[in-house]
């Protein structure tokens, strides 16, 4: 069933039509991350009004515009994506200097965060021209609002936007090691073909909570929360869980539990990392003294060695 947005266009004209939209300005327009109904009235008004729409993918944007009943010719769409952004930005500056209104949209969400747009905006600023942001949908704030990362007074306020971690396993493991030392919440993005590899890398964080957002705002949206150590097995329990686009919130590092609360974390880290690295990372996560953790790690290693040899000892 096709949704009729003609009433939304009229509402946009009524609510936002009398506002000031200066010529020669770049309008950075947030668009829905999945559900077309999440467009704002001001975004609809600007998309109707502007002379040119610069966009990450002209075909995707044309499809979105037609869904809203906005008629723009192909000559009014300008491709500005990660492979040509620096060069295409000069063309946008030229249009603005001719007193044209130009809107920029990415394929979904707010441009310039993880999607292209930042270099375009920087170029427009450098030319002394105006940039006007139109707020709207963002996968980052959407999942944060459902993750409850600030629900307890023990948690550190604020969050860090990390985006996509490196695709190569070694580089990704190093990035996770860095994230483990971050006390604040961390927002990550991932594609479906790499989500399991990311989950396996995050397992070293043990009991640290992860909120997983999949297909946000779409028909099959799902939000789940679990310890990082259980994330990979959760994905593997149902093949559907590995489909779609992902946003993750790595919750603030928990306050270390007193008396033996580090054993499970050390065991998890030692299965993936050398002993000294595991101890260093555990100290950063828990705030415990490294020497005490090192002694515990040595004891765990000896215990594992004794278990391997069995009750009879060496042959």
Tokens of 162: 């990390």
Tell me the per-residue pLDDT of 71-123, one tens digit each, with 9 for 90 and over: 999 999 999 998 999 999 999 999 999 999 999 999 999 999 988 999 999 99
Note the pLDDT of residue 315: 39
Question: Which tokens belong to 150?
Answer: 């600030």
pLDDT at site 17: 95
Instruction: Identify the pLDDT of residue 310.
Output: 56
Please give the C-alpha separations between residue 281 and each of 62, 171, 248, 277, in angstroms, as whole numbers: 48, 16, 21, 6
Q: What is the DSSP string of 58-114?
A: HHHHHHHHHHHT----GGGEEE--TTTHHHHHHHHHHHHHTT--EEEE-SSBSTTSS
pLDDT of residue 290: 80
**pLDDT score for 161:** 95
Burial of 282 (0-12, 13-18, 19+ CB in 10 A): buried
159 contacts: CB under 8 Å, gap ≥ 6:
144, 149, 184, 185, 186, 187, 249
In whole angstroms, what separates CA 294 from the centre of its chain?
35
Indicate the pTM of the whole model. Answer: 0.78
Domains assigned to the chain: 6-137 (3.40.1010.10), 140-250 (3.30.950.10), 263-308 (no CATH)
CA distance 81 to 196: 28
Tokens of 300: 């765990």
Cβ pair 39, 68 in contact under 8 A: yes
Per-residue pLDDT at 295: 81
Q: Taking Cα atoms as reference points, which of 231, 267, 244, 155 lies closest to residue 192?
A: 244
The sign one gets for the Cα dihedral 293, 294, 300, 303 is negative
Residues of the chain with pLDDT under 70: 1, 151-156, 254-261, 306-315
Under the phi-then-psi rule, with left for phi > 0, alpha for psi from -120 to 50, and beta for the rest, what region is 116? beta
């Amino acid at each position: 069933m096709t949704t009729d947005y003609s009433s939304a266009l009229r509402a946009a004209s009524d609510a936002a039509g009398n506002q000031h939209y200066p010529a020669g300005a770049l309008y950075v327009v947030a668009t829905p991350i999945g559900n077309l109904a999440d467009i704002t009235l001001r975004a609809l008004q600007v998309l109707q009004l502007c002379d040119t729409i610069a966009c990450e993918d002209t075909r995707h944007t044309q499809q979105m515009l037609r869904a809203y009943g906005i008629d723009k010719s192909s000559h009014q769409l300008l491709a500005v994506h990660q492979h040509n952004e620096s060069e295409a930005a000069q063309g946008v500056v030229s249009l603005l200097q001719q007193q044209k209104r130009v809107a920029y949209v990415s394929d979904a969400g707010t441009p310039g965060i993880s999607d292209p747009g930042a270099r375009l905006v920087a170029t427009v600023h450098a030319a002394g021209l105006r940039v006007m942001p139109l707020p709207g949908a963002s996968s980052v704030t959407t999942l944060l609002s459902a993750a409850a990362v600030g629900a307890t007074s023990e948690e550190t306020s604020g969050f860090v936007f990390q985006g996509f971690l490196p695709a190569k396993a070694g580089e990704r493991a190093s990035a996770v090691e860095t994230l483990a030392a971050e006390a604040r919440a961390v927002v990550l993005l991932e594609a479906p073909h790499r989500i399991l590899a990311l989950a396996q890398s995050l397992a070293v964080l043990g009991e640290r909570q992860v909120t997983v957002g999949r297909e946000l705002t779409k028909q099959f949206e799902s939000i789940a929360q679990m310890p990082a150590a259980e994330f990979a097995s959760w994905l593997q329990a149902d093949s559907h869980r590995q489909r779609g686009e992902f946003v993750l919130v790595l919750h603030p590092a928990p306050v270390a539990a007193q008396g033996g609360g580090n054993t499970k974390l050390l065991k998890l880290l030692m299965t993936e990392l050398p002993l000294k690295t595991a101890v260093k990372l555990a100290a950063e996560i828990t705030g415990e003294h490294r020497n005490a953790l090192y002694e515990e790690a040595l004891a765990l290693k000896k215990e594992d060695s004794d278990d391997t040899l069995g009750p009879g000892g060496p042959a």
